[in-house]
A and B are shown apart, each in its own frame.
Chain A
């Protein structure tokens, strides 16, 4: 770990100013990912701005009938909120499918969105990795890639977004609320929040430098059946090989997003029209551009089969 300075901000705008004003500065919330990465010198911030005093830890009703989730609401608090459990079951289920109880107690809503990839080459500083060290190359593409992306990747990076929560937020059409150093708010649709790697895999999201997440807003409840199906080798405490977040209405229409397959939660709204025709009809267009590696080619049929299970369970119920 490199030496760094530390401060605790009092307001969101102050925090944003503090980070925007100093190259190499980063926000610190729960620290469940950042601190680990700092120990390994994968992240080497010069200055940390601790946001824990910003009072962004409430879940409130919005005027539109949705929910506004403060950036610092813990994963545990969010997944156990009665309104979330009742109206946004896919979100509660996605959260409890991730990490462990202890980590969820500490991890925050904003931090969860910003967690970095778990690609093993990203984690080994002896290895080339364009995400960790731009221009150094990608060891993963021709390497051990069983966990990694099958679609939306580039010749620079095949990392995945590792989270579960973001996949549910994507299917719910959540909005990420931010504030910048000038105190100006911005609302970023979740679809535009995470980026594909392209030629800049070191940039995970479309946040501007110093832009601070203050909340995540959910629109009015969708009704329907909420499912989060996470497929993994180990029954718990493992990242998804493939996950499916779905909200399926009683007439068979619905929405679906996949985790574990791309650099961001993978959803194409146009493909959802085929939901009543079954899983393969959906995934054929969703994964039309898939370019899997030898190690992870199984993820494409697995995605179809997992969605089929989700649909079939609904039909059975």
Chain B
């Protein structure tokens, strides 16, 4: 099915099942510990051996010698895989990292060897017996030091051009009545998902099957095929449950590549879970950015000049962190400059983490807007209202498909009690606590991509949906179930959902918050086809048929749906493809985030007291899972604002705090009452289901709202995340 004109009325508009706060489809499995995760499979490969990765002890240089004699003689050891016997692993299409030091070492903890043994303990113990000699060379680990020589790179596959101009920025900025010109930094951040990357790999001749934890099956099969040098068709990935990903499991990481390579070398299935420190220094992460934001406005608050320049670093060939993406579309303003520069760094690869670009970009832009509001003497909500635009500010011929941003701002302000905020910072005190309120706007691309699904109706009236979509804790199973139930007019318990197998019809998977809109559009297409097949089998004229209450009705005739499969199951498959609408409309999701913080006037400790998000993302497919996505995003935003930073040792070139003790993410005590509400809207330009994603929107804008609240509490502006107490301690009230 091709989607090329805005959607009209269709069965998803009934909203009898869609939109409802249905419990998760797999809730029972997860709450009883019976959902099987990649490393836990026992029966699929009972003879699987355990792989343990030895990471490089240096950040840059080369291996001059490896002695594995002691390791090979150690109890239980089956084999040792290094660059010498691994073949020549290729590189996938999305990540540039190399899976093995071969023998050049590109970054700290890059895998040097995999020890394969009968037990995990044997593999781990034996890995410590490998003797590796390195020739260490100087590396580049400091973005600030490389900033001056970082070029504007050529355009990559994602994120648009690295430099873009509209109007004439420099003179407009110079002439602006009110200006902000500040530099902000967002540090390297880790996905720090709960489940580590893990894989069991099993070969059958030239074909490999991997039980793994991966967000995007289509990229995974492609990239593993490239890495192993085998056709994509010879790769099967199975990943029904994923314990968090946040982009860190987008496609093939070391567990998957090295389990498959090791299994090929030792001739036995191999299972590998990445050790936590290996995850921090070896898998992808959100790279540090230094961002200069220049805003010029008239006294009325209208922006006349918007400039956003950003620096990030990466391994050679790696991508730019597209921080300026949101600045290009968020606010009106005739003169615009956005530019991204990319340095080469010898740290682990920087790549996608939840809302890549927008999340760190808005961490800078939305503080700058707060600073501008203060200079103007204008309410920060009102500043955003006066700079709203209903057309793409870079291309006014392109309207936003929907943009209820002002509604998000106003409803958020109302619900939060924004009018109680004292605009003058440092004024509100409760005992030892300084109290502040802050807000920020949020914008995140509402993407959608080609997505397939298969639907089978059996004689009991059960409809089984299959797609290679994944569920990383987001609720994919549930929204697929609801879409199919709505389309077929049956109760949700008549729907069986099977996801996470690359042999199922292709979807874009979980990433870029396009999973839910895409897969539900594919399910829509498959269900339209199934309805036609049912109608035909039952002898109805399909144009006049109604599917509801588990029955198929037309005129006076009403037949149980299950009857259509009496003569054998009905099986259909379709793909939803998208055409020119995404070029005709600027399709985005919006939000307004509000936060109240308390800052200890003595110690500078910051605690978030409450936070609220009002979001607009088209049709909300499940009120509960969507809300959970957003409050989960706020939680992650609390981490970004207050504590998350991978600290770099500039001498040794690595992330020092490489475990969950050193890299702090919020715990329960950090997370107060959170609320999330959605604007009641549909986006008919996105798909027949009219829904956009919410998962990344929920994070975008949270950290700057908290940063602005901290400033409102203390009067000390911190422009370097995370906002830890040492950064504003000196500016706090003097103690008695």
Q: Is B47 an interface residue (CB 8 A)?
A: no
Task: Report Cα–Cα, A126/B661, bound state, in Å.
Answer: 18
Please give me the residue from chain A that is nearest to B55 by CB atom: A126
List A contacts of B431 (CB < 8 A): 316
Please judge, given known A-B contacts A124-B658, A302-B725, A306-B603, whether A233 and B647 are in contact too, CB under 8 Å: no
B227-242 near A? 1/0 per residue, CB < 8 Å: 0000000000000000
Q: Is A16 an interface residue (CB 8 A)?
A: no
Q: Is the CB of A301 within 8 A of B729?
A: yes
Of the residues B602, B651, B730, contact of A306 by C-beta under 8 Å: B602
Q: Is the CB of B603 within 8 A of A231?
A: yes
Please judge, given known A-B contacts A233-B724, A236-B669, A306-B603, whether A123 and B659 are in contact too, CB under 8 Å: yes
Task: Report Cα–Cα, A235/B647, bound state, in Å.
Answer: 20
B122 CB to nearest A CB, Å: 10
Of the residues B124, B656, B658, B730, contact of A143 by C-beta under 8 Å: B656
A79 CB to nearest B CB, Å: 17
Q: Is B265 an interface residue (CB 8 A)?
A: no
List B contacts of A235 (CB < 8 A): 607, 667, 669-670
Q: How many residues of B contact A (CB 8 A)?
A: 43
Please give me the residue from chain B that is nearest to A315 by CB atom: B736
Of the residues A1, A143, A312, A313, contact of B649 by C-beta under 8 Å: A143
A110-149 near B? 1/0 per residue, CB < 8 Å: 0000000010110110110000000000010011101000
List B contacts of A55 (CB < 8 A): none
Please judge, given known A-B contacts A121-B656, A146-B647, whether A302 and B729 are in contact too, CB under 8 Å: yes
Task: Report Cα–Cα, A1/B75, bound state, in Å.
Answer: 13
A56 CB to nearest B CB, Å: 29
Q: Is B417 an interface residue (CB 8 A)?
A: no
Q: Is A308 an interface residue (CB 8 A)?
A: yes
Task: Report Cα–Cα, A144/B58, bound state, in Å.
Answer: 17
Q: Is the CB of A118 within 8 A of B652?
A: no
Of the residues B277, B602, B722, contact of A124 by C-beta under 8 Å: B277
B559 CB to nearest A CB, Å: 57
A213-243 near B? 1/0 per residue, CB < 8 Å: 0000000000000000001111111100110
B693-736 near A? 1/0 per residue, CB < 8 Å: 00000000000000000000000000000101110011010011
Q: Is the CB of B736 within 8 A of A237?
A: no
Q: Is A279 an interface residue (CB 8 A)?
A: yes
B274 CB to nearest A CB, Å: 15
Q: Is the CB of B667 within 8 A of A302?
A: no
A227 CB to nearest B CB, Å: 13
A303 CB to nearest B CB, Å: 10
Please give me the residue from chain A that is nearest to B672 by CB atom: A235
Please judge, given known A-B contacts A120-B662, A144-B657, A278-B736, whether A2 and B125 are in contact too, CB under 8 Å: yes
Please judge, given known A-B contacts A41-B128, A309-B600, A313-B432, whether A304 and B669 are in contact too, CB under 8 Å: no
Task: Report Cα–Cα, A279/B603, bound state, in Å.
Answer: 13
Q: Is the CB of A120 within 8 A of B656?
A: yes
List B contacts of A127 (CB < 8 A): 652
Task: Report Cα–Cα, A279/B642, bound state, in Å.
Answer: 27
Q: Is A10 an interface residue (CB 8 A)?
A: no
Please give me the residue from chain B that is nearest to A306 by CB atom: B603
List A contacts of B642 (CB < 8 A): 233-234
Q: Is the CB of A305 within 8 A of B669?
A: no
List B contacts of A237 (CB < 8 A): 667, 669
Q: Is A298 an interface residue (CB 8 A)?
A: yes
Q: Is the CB of A302 within 8 A of B603?
A: yes
Q: Is the CB of B124 within 8 A of A139?
A: no
Task: Report Cα–Cα, A236/B667, bound state, in Å.
Answer: 7
Please give me the residue from chain B that is nearest to A242 by CB atom: B603
Q: Is the CB of A312 within 8 A of B432?
A: yes
Chain B residues numbered 642-684 whose CB sits less than 8 Å from any CB in chain A: 642-643, 647-649, 651-652, 656-659, 661-662, 664, 666-670
Of the residues A234, A304, A312, contact of B664 by C-beta under 8 Å: A234
Q: Is the CB of B652 within 8 A of A309?
A: no
List B contacts of A233 (CB < 8 A): 605, 642-643, 664, 722, 724-725
Chain A residues numbered 29-87 whose CB sits less than 8 Å from any CB in chain B: 39, 41
List B contacts of A306 (CB < 8 A): 602-603
Of the residues A1, A118, A238, A298, contact of B729 by C-beta under 8 Å: A298
Q: Is A288 an interface residue (CB 8 A)?
A: no
List A contacts of B57 (CB < 8 A): 126
Please give me the residue from chain B that is nearest to A310 by CB atom: B602
Q: Is A270 an interface residue (CB 8 A)?
A: no
Helix, strand, loop or mixed for chain B's interface? loop
Task: Report Cα–Cα, A238/B128, bound state, in Å.
Answer: 29
Q: Is the CB of B602 within 8 A of A312?
A: yes
A285-298 near B? 1/0 per residue, CB < 8 Å: 00000000000001
B571 CB to nearest A CB, Å: 49
Q: Is the CB of A144 within 8 A of B656?
A: yes
Of the residues A1, A139, A236, A301, contact of B125 by C-beta under 8 Å: A1
Q: Is the CB of A308 within 8 A of B735?
A: yes
Q: Is B23 an interface residue (CB 8 A)?
A: no
B288 CB to nearest A CB, Å: 15
Q: Is the CB of B729 within 8 A of A120?
A: no
Q: Is B250 an interface residue (CB 8 A)?
A: no
Most buried by A among B121, B648, B659, B661: B661
Q: Is the CB of A3 within 8 A of B735?
A: no
Q: Is the CB of A302 within 8 A of B726?
A: yes
Q: Is the CB of B602 within 8 A of A305?
A: yes
Q: Is B412 an interface residue (CB 8 A)?
A: no
List A contacts of B670 (CB < 8 A): 234-236
List B contacts of A302 (CB < 8 A): 603-604, 725-726, 729
Please give me the residue from chain B that is nearest to A238 by CB atom: B664
Please judge, given known A-B contacts A142-B651, A144-B647, whether A304 and B735 are in contact too, CB under 8 Å: yes
Q: Is the CB of B668 within 8 A of A236?
A: yes
List A contacts of B725 (CB < 8 A): 231, 233, 241, 298, 302
B433 CB to nearest A CB, Å: 11
List B contacts of A241 (CB < 8 A): 725
Please give me the residue from chain A that is nearest to B124 by CB atom: A1
Q: Is the CB of A231 within 8 A of B643?
A: no
List A contacts of B648 (CB < 8 A): 144
A308 CB to nearest B CB, Å: 4
Task: Report Cα–Cα, A146/B602, bound state, in Å.
Answer: 19
Task: Report Cα–Cα, A304/B180, bound state, in Å.
Answer: 36
Please give me the residue from chain B that is nearest to A128 by CB atom: B652
Task: Report Cα–Cα, A36/B164, bound state, in Å.
Answer: 51
B268-305 near A? 1/0 per residue, CB < 8 Å: 00000000010000000000000000000000000000
B207 CB to nearest A CB, Å: 35
Q: Is the CB of A139 within 8 A of B669?
A: no
Task: Report Cα–Cα, A124/B649, bound state, in Å.
Answer: 13
Task: Report Cα–Cα, A118/B656, bound state, in Å.
Answer: 12
A295 CB to nearest B CB, Å: 9
B53 CB to nearest A CB, Å: 14
Please give me the residue from chain B that is nearest to A279 by CB atom: B735
Binding site for A on B (CB under 8 A): 57-58, 121, 124-125, 128, 277, 431-432, 600, 602-605, 607, 642-643, 647-649, 651-652, 656-659, 661-662, 664, 666-670, 722, 724-726, 729-730, 732, 735-736
CB-based closest 10 A-B pairs? A309-B602, A235-B669, A298-B726, A236-B669, A126-B57, A308-B735, A144-B656, A234-B664, A144-B647, A235-B670
**6 A–B pairs (Cβ distance < 8 Å), ordered by A:** A124-B656, A144-B657, A233-B722, A298-B729, A302-B725, A312-B736
- New A-B contacts (20) at CB < 8 Å, excluding given A1-B124, A298-B725: A120-B662, A121-B656, A126-B57, A126-B58, A139-B651, A146-B647, A146-B726, A234-B643, A234-B666, A234-B669, A235-B607, A235-B667, A235-B669, A236-B668, A238-B664, A278-B736, A302-B726, A305-B602, A305-B603, A313-B432
